[in-house]
Amino acid sequence: MKYISTRGEAPSLSFEDVILTGLAPDGGLYVPEQLPTFSQAEIASWVGLSYQQLAFKIIAPFVAGEISDSDLQAIIDKSYSGFRHDAIAPLVQTAHNEWILELFQGPTLAFKDFALQFLGNLLDHILKKRDQKVVVMGATSGDTGSAAIEGCRHCDNIDIFILHPHNRVSDVQRKQMTSVLTDNVHNIALKGNFDDCQNMLKASFGDQSFLPEGRQLVAVNSINWARIMAQIVYYFYAALALGGPARPISFSVPTGNFGDIFAGYLAKQMGLPIDQLVIATNANDILHRCISDNDHSKKELIHSLSPSMDIMVSSNFERLLFDLYDRDGSAIKQLMEDFKTGSMHLSDKALASARALFSSYRLDDEETIDVIREVFENDEYLLDPHTAIGLQAARKTRRNQDVPMVCLSTAHPAKFPEAVRKAGQDKDPALPHHMADLFEREERFEVLDKDLAAVQKFIASHVRA
């Protein structure tokens, strides 16, 4: 299988090369030249498979023989061996025909573990085979960083540098990153917001001359295709558990960078009968404004109680636009140029196509707290703020009550004690046993100004020989 850029000017790449490349040289994002599809009969035959077995069925066509079946299954098995629940992604019912998909059972208590445990093991396999060393650079609004560090900390051929916005992630999120003291892990607290971190990431991928000779950057953000690919699996897993493919399923997804919900879109394109995808946003609502009002314009970023969604530039939205514009790279390039000036507008055809599948909703902090409080009072089920946004968005936009609605629970509530306390809880939710001593652990991180040259100098000077 070959992978092409959404902007149409970069050469196509193989699977392994696209994993190591990240952002395309023309500034676009890589997507498969052709998406694998499955018949309803084939999907139905997967009922009863374990999560790991199902992951192999879905991921193997994207790899297309570049990794042997036995090696791929071993990578998958290793990636999910550290999850705390045997189901890997358990479902919990919260109302009639309404379900929470708990995606926080991994080692860092966030849905990012599904993709980044897999990506870490995948990179380890590819780099050992090629006898190659790389520099992993990532930007995080909270959860990606700790999941990426956990996935890569044991990889001898990787030096990893994670940028997070200084004082704009929760204490648990920060400690999960900065208390990993291995020689190949480096945390940078940037005096700025997530979009500043992400802009530095993209600029560094565009010009890698600051790196020591023989090194290249590899992305762990959701611009890396492997991230999206791994997340497709849990849509199939949830649907099969609830009667799919014989019946359609809907999903609500709290989203900032559009990667998680784009995986759901791909699942539908691959044959899963998805009826509705709900884009759930906080006050940083550029995606909601785009779908509801065709207003994809930048506004000042708001620091919220759901920091993993404090994003104004949703990178993976470009991958959806590529399909909405019939895979016309020149059209996408022009849209992205328009957006650089602050605003872009979708064509009538593209907007209609998006609205046929996607709904959207926005919640501010006060509304989010109300949802956490209400659900706990009614069901004694404690939501983190991101999941609360997803659940309320589902309830407000649901088109068909007869279709099961699955809300993706993206993080453990212990990661966001401030929101939980504001919702009326008299004590912070307890961290799982393996993380109980988190606040006693030593931290190590570097606070840097919003200066690309300073960040790149720090990275270059800390790459191991």
Q: What are phi and psi of 280, to 5 degrees?
A: -105, 125
**Is 112 a residue of the active site?**
yes
Sequence-distant (6+) residues with CB within 8 A of 235 are: 251, 263, 264, 267, 272, 274
Q: What angle do CA 23, 29, 33 make, to 5 degrees?
A: 125
Q: Are 203 and 465 within 8 A, CB to CB?
A: no
Longest CA–CA separation in the chain, Å: 59
From residue 88, alpha-carbon distances to 79, 85, 107, 232 in Å are 11, 5, 11, 14
Sign of CA dihedral 291, 412, 250, 3: positive
Reported as half-sphere exposure (CB side, CA atoms, 13 A), residue 7 has a value of 14
Supply the DSSP symbol for 298: -
Q: Which of 57, 112, 340, 396 is catalytic?
A: 112
Cα–Cα distance, 174 to 310 (Å, whole number) = 16
Report whether 281 contacts 287 (CB < 8 A).
Answer: yes
Cα-trace Rg, the chain: 21
Q: Which residue has the tokens 């690309």?
A: 452
In angstroms, what CA-CA distances link 116 with 4, 45, 230? 22, 28, 9
Under 8 Å CB-to-CB from 316, ≥6 apart: which residues?
Answer: 29, 222, 223, 228, 257, 258, 259, 262
Ranges of beta strands (E only) in 111-157 are: 134-139
Encoded tokens for 79: 């990636």
Contacts of 13 (CB under 8 A, 6+ apart): 2, 3, 21, 30
CA angle 191, 457, 224 (to 5 degrees): 75
Name the E strands within 255-340.
274-281, 296-297
Cis peptide, bond prior to residue 254, ω within 30 of zero: no
Catalytic residues: 112
